[in-house]
A and B are shown apart, each in its own frame.
Chain A
Amino acid sequence: NRMKRAKARHKPCSLKELEVTISELGLGYNSDETVLFRYCSGTCESAVRNYDVSLKHVRSIRKIRKEKVRARPCCRPLSYDDDVSFLDTGNRYYTVNEVSAKECGCV
């Protein structure tokens, strides 16, 4: 079981999906309509660049001290799904964009 968990944690960055209601998105809309929420999840170990190695080293020798820097690639959406429209509990229509990921990558 621990092996399974460890494996899951080390899955490379990819697109996953989940059925959620509009309300559960936390955007301030109240609607029971269900949408497919696609998100990016996974590790980016294989995408480490010389940039990341160097940045980490420059920071470790305290040449960078105050700034917030990130010396590891992030698993993030490269593009977003189409707009989604829904009817809320007050019977008003809304359309929201860039809610759900379409394509993921290590950036």
Chain B
Amino acid sequence: MKGTDSAAASRSNPCLEAAKACNLNDNCKKLRSAYISTCNKEVSASEHCSQRRCRKALRHFFDQVPSAYSYRLLFCPCKDQACAERRRQTIVPDCSYQETEKPNCLTLRSQCRAEPLCRSRLADFHSNCQAFLTSCSRDNYQACLDSYTGLIGLDLTPNYVDASFSNPMISLWCSCQGSGNMEEECEKFLKDFTENACLRNAIQAFGNGTGLTFSPK
């Protein structure tokens, strides 16, 4: 009886199924466990984890594990809150995403641009997930998801803001308060994450499994 209960729970929760698929693959299980334990490890009484190490382990996971596994964890389609919370938790946001204070988004962007890898991945994201161009079609979806995933573990680590399943929103851990005369520029930059139709459609298409074939990286 218990066995059928958990089988039913897994069928109705695609994020749980994605975790199962990863756990049953030795390489995925190992690298997932590596980032989770790093991101969950308390370093001292004042510092509940090492964000630097956590982000590095996350980058390693997304670089090494085929997207057939990693994208299922990151973009699983949800019909309830338990599923959506699991999806939000994928990158261990307590350590990799959140910080005690929210920096200004433009400050964060400058930080990213000062670093070659982050700079190039951000440029990729902007060109592959352009929200305002009609060119973002099914053909671009994979490229958009690739460049979104490429940002995870960098200064501009994006994530789901909450466990909403009906209307999931993605953002950066930053705000546009204190932007001064750059307020408009800041809002525009942040909206590339929070109100990006291309990214949203790409995630949705991945969840539906419609017309997307994901080759291993």
Q: List the interface of chain A (C-beta within 8 A of B).
A: 19, 21, 23-24, 32-36, 82-87, 91, 93-95
A32 and B9: CB pair below 8 A? yes
A36 and B24: CB pair below 8 A? yes
A83 and B85: CB pair below 8 A? no
Q: A21-B6, A94-B40, A95-B36 are in contact. List 9 more A-B contacts (CB 8 A).
A: A32-B10, A33-B23, A34-B24, A82-B26, A82-B33, A85-B32, A85-B33, A93-B40, A95-B33
A34 and B9: CB pair below 8 A? no
Least CB distance from B95 to A in Å reads 10
B29 and A82: CB pair below 8 A? yes
How many A-B contacts are there with CB distance less than 8 Å? 58
CA distance A24 to B20 in the complex (A): 14
CA distance A63 to B20 in the complex (A): 54
Q: Which of A24, A32, A87, A95 has the most CB of B within 10 A?
A: A32
Chain B residues lying within 8 Å of A84, measured Cβ to Cβ, are 23, 29, 33
A23 and B33: CB pair below 8 A? no
CA distance A93 to B93 in the complex (A): 11
B20 and A83: CB pair below 8 A? no
* A93 with B92, Cβ < 8 A, contacts A19-B24, A34-B23, A84-B23 known: yes
A87 and B86: CB pair below 8 A? yes
Chain B residues lying within 8 Å of A33, measured Cβ to Cβ, are 16, 19-20, 23
Q: List 10 interface pairs A-B (beta carbons < 8 Å), by A numbering.
A: A34-B23, A35-B24, A35-B29, A36-B23, A82-B33, A86-B23, A87-B89, A91-B89, A93-B36, A93-B40
**How many residues of B are in contact with the other chain, CB < 8 A?**
23
- Select one of A23, A82, A86, A94 contacting B6, CB under 8 A: A23
Task: Please name the residue on chain A nearest to B90 by beta carbon.
Answer: A87
Task: Judge whether B30 is part of the interface by a CB distance below 8 angstroms.
Answer: yes
Task: Judge whether B107 is part of the interface by a CB distance below 8 angstroms.
Answer: no
* A32 with B33, Cβ < 8 A, contacts A21-B6, A23-B6 known: no
Chain B residues lying within 8 Å of A83, measured Cβ to Cβ, are 33, 37
A85 and B37: CB pair below 8 A? yes
- Select one of A34, A91, A94 contacting B85, CB under 8 A: A91
A86 and B30: CB pair below 8 A? no
CA distance A33 to B32 in the complex (A): 13
Task: Please name the residue on chain A nearest to B13 by beta carbon.
Answer: A32
CA distance A33 to B29 in the complex (A): 12
CA distance A84 to B36 in the complex (A): 9
Least CB distance from A76 to B in Å reads 21
